[in-house]
Amino acid sequence: MDRGIKILVVDDDKDYNLYLTKFLSDEGYVTKGITKPLDALPTLEQEKFHIAILDLKMPQISGMDLLKEIKAKHPHICVIILTGYPSFKTAVETMKLDAFDYLKKPFDLNDLRKALGNAQKTYCLVGSSKDRIKTSVGKKLKGLRKSKKITQKQLAHRTGLSPSLLSQIENGQIAASLTTLDKLSSSLNVKISYFLDDEAVEPGEKDAAESNHA
């Protein structure tokens, strides 16, 4: 756990806000909770936060509108949405606005842990683990591509990415951005989390990897 990661929790429910900030603090994060959503932007101007967790249904300003404003002024902040009123429509809308994840209340704390872990990897907040992550993503991409019998040139055509960029990612030379991972996951029919989860294994990938080493 990188204890330098700062998280801002924006939820007008005081009890839930306190519960969440305490949990995150116990997990090792530097955490601040605010219950007035209009205070979110001034707070982000005054302090640097890596992740913001927003409730979707709040007075004065909705989580959706707040997400728009945060991303307009602070595009590099990772935003995770919480909602007690989940719907496919709002989930799609928040993803279009570049929310990283969408969790419904009440949620399993392990789901939040996983979302935060993936956020750290995607936004390269892990620091000392950055090189390991680049290597892991590259291996997964190469193994999956070969298991599906797709050449780099074909994948480049599907995604609009250059073969040179794909080669550098597969060799662990550069980190793939969230946008790049989204294009790759869509083209290869897997979730973005596939590239980030240590446990994720695509059927056939293991066999392909073993045949490459043979």
pLDDT tens digit string along 156-204? 999 999 988 899 899 888 878 778 888 999 999 998 888 876 544 444 4
Q: Please report the sign of the dihedral spanned by the C-alpha atoms of residue 198, residue 204, residue 208, residue 211.
A: positive
Which of 72, 91, 122 is the last residue before a domain boundary? 122
Say which CATH number the domain at 180 has.
1.10.260.40
Which of 70, 90, 122 is the last residue before a domain boundary? 122
Query: What domain range is 177 assigned to?
Result: 130-213
From CA 43, how far away is CA 8, in angstroms rounded? 9
The β-bridge partners of 31 are 7
Identify whether residues 19 and 107 lie together within a single domain: yes
pLDDT tens digit string along 89-126? 888 888 888 888 888 888 788 888 888 888 887 776 65
**Quick one: how far is CA 135 from the chain centroid?**
18
From CA 206, how far away is CA 214, in angstroms rounded? 12
Query: CB under 8 Å to 156, separation ≥6 — which residues?
Result: 162, 163, 166
Identify whether residues 156 and 70 lie together within a single domain: no
More confident residue, 29 or 130: 29
CB 83 within 8 A of CB 92: no
Identify whether residues 112 and 89 lie together within a single domain: yes
Structure-block tokens of residue 40: 């979110």
